[in-house]
Amino acid sequence: MYQALYRKWRPKTFDEVVGQEHITATLKNEVAAGKFSHAYLFTGSRGTGKTTCSKIVAKAVNCERPVDGNPCNECAACRGIDDGSVLDVVEIDAASNNGVDNIRQLREEAYFLPASVKYRVYILDECHMLSPGAVNALLKILEEPPAHVIFILATTEIHKVLPTILSRCQRFDFKRIKSRTIADRLLHVAGEEALSLADDAALLIARLSDGGMRDALSLFDLCASYGKEITLSTVTEAAGLAGQSHLFDLADAVNGRDPSGALAVIGRLSENSIDFSRLCEQLVGHYRDLMIVKTVREPDDLVQGTPEDLERLRAQAKDLPLTRILYSLDLLGDTLGRLSRTAFKRTELEMAVVRLCDEQMGGGLEALGERLEKLERAVRTGAPARAPEPDAPRGTAPEPPVAAAAPTAGARPAPEQRAEKAEGKSEVSPFRDWAKVLSELGRHNGALCGAMTGSRAFTSGDLMLIDCESDFFRTLLRTSPAAKESLRDAIFAVTGQKFSLGPYNAKKHAVAEVSADPLDGLLKKASDLGVPVELK
């Protein structure tokens, strides 16, 4: 019968345990000196060697011919503990045997002398799962056990273990194993198993295992089922990393402030029946990776992914401010909580993605931070910084335009002045640089710019009227002062002039005819600048 690699290559002595030398050296010295504790507590993440070291301790204290604190693995006691025939070494899953009756039975059995070895050893795995009654039943015998009894408690959640348990045990903290250490072990196992394992593939397996040797061996075992040659592409396919490109596409759209592109990605994923809560979790993980790449000089061991993924993460994070990454993590975390409480999961996620495209739409400190960043950019570049204009109350008419200065004597009247006003309508002129305004707006507020696709603008003095059919645009202007301010900033960057904003209404406004004569435009500019011009 085939035996899984993580079982076949489980260490049998302290010297074979990799990555936990600070623990194995102490345990080996204690056993060699005969001064081992009556109770141990092993804590650490999964697959780091807690249960393995527990069994090695059980063998070492009972071994008939120990070698420098290590079990010989040849005597009857060592072989019996390995194959489970020695009943004095008991491994208990505290997750399923966590009742007070289970511990009472253990306590009654503990007082009997061992049948075939020197010490009766109890290994309680996931001891934090013990019920309060079971803990109380265990406390007394754990503090003063019979001389022939040793307790070894193991847990992945040390914060759930009661202080009364901690104070009665000798504690050892198992660390996550470094990726290079895991990769070297995998290369050794591959050589013994007559498998070809590339070094970069071994490193990727190590990173994906998150510091756990057991997980690394299990993934390596899966890769070996693909063939004798294990390459980087083999690991990528076996680990299911090939289908992560949609996260990069979605993040590219969000980082580029393109809400329409981001929503299109979600739409394609929805057609493939993706779970939106799972997608939100993946986005949280993706922006966590961006945060690590942005802040850590050597992020290879902290980011799970292929080298190509890591390079793409670096490219995404290069021009992305850390404040925006943190804002995205906060927003996605809040969204993940709301997704569990709503039936409209797609809508909730789409709202979050639109907010990610523009921090100002989130309001609060993020919007304030965006405005401060804008002011800092203005100071650095020397552009004039200006305070935002107060919005007119709802229902009030826009401010009347300031009357233009009288033209200089001899100057021809501008085309707008020559055109006759339509009956009952105010006259406005087309604003020719509107495309430049939208381009400038798109660099700072992609969501608003996307909503204004196909729009146009007209001016009358210092009043600018916008013709846009998007309901989303009207909602933004009505409810978001930050959106209106970003539009004013874009207009000011193009024109150098402050405008009051309002909606264009064809029933109230007449568009002035513009003369094709280029001289008219020159005369109007001269008049605006106060330059006297006389025609002869």
pLDDT of residue 151: 93
pLDDT of residue 519: 57
DSSP per residue, 303-367: S-S-HHHHHHHHHHHHTS-HHHHHHHHHHHHHHHHHHTT-S-HHHHHHHHHHHHH-GGGG-HHHH
| Mean local confidence (pLDDT), 59-76 | 91
pLDDT of residue 419: 41
Instruction: Round the average pLDDT of the chain to a whole number and report it.
Output: 82
Would the pLDDT of 477 be above 90? no
Least confident of 44-53, 113-122, 325-334, 373-382: 373-382
Would the pLDDT of 133 be above 60? yes
Q: For the segment 88-130, what is each residue's pLDDT rounded down to a tens digit?
A: 998 888 888 778 888 888 888 888 898 889 999 999 988 988 8
pLDDT of residue 418: 41
pLDDT of residue 371: 57
pLDDT of residue 414: 44
| Mean local confidence (pLDDT), 36-52 | 91
pLDDT of residue 323: 86
Would the pLDDT of 40 be above 90? yes
pLDDT of residue 504: 84
Quote the percentage of the chain above a pLDDT of 70.
83
Least confident of 193-202, 423-432, 522-531: 522-531
User: What does the alpha-carbon distance between residue 148 and residue 110 come to, in Å, rounded to a whole number?
Assistant: 9
Least confident of 11-20, 282-291, 365-374: 365-374
Would the pLDDT of 405 be above 60? no
Q: Is 483 exposed, middle or buried (0-12, 13-18, 19+ CB in 10 A)?
A: buried
pLDDT of residue 417: 44
| Mean local confidence (pLDDT), 405-412 | 42
What is the chain's alpha carbon radius of gyration, rounded to the nearest angstrom? 36
| Cα-based distances in Å from 367 to 291, 359, 374, 486 | 20, 6, 11, 11
| Contacts for 225 with CB less than 8 Å, ≥ 6 apart | none
Would the pLDDT of 397 be above 50? no
Quote the percentage of the chain above a pLDDT of 90.
28
Would the pLDDT of 429 be above 90? no
* Selection from 398, 531, 395, 521 nearest residue 461 by Cα: 398
| Contacts for 165 with CB less than 8 Å, ≥ 6 apart | 41, 127, 135, 138, 139, 142, 153
Would the pLDDT of 173 be above 50? yes
Question: Which backbone phi and psi does 341 adopt, to 5 degrees?
Answer: -115, 5
Q: What's the half-sphere exposure (Cβ side, CA atoms, 13 Å) at 161?
A: 25
End-to-end Cα distance, the chain = 109
Domains, the chain: 5-173 (3.40.50.300), 179-238 (1.10.8.60), 245-357 (1.20.272.10), 424-525 (3.30.300.180)
Q: For the segment 214-263, what is each residue's pLDDT rounded down to a tens digit?
A: 999 999 999 999 888 998 888 888 887 666 788 899 999 998 888 899 99
| Mean local confidence (pLDDT), 477-504 | 82
- CA torsion angle for 49, 55, 58, 64 (degrees, to 10)? -110
Would the pLDDT of 396 be above 50? no
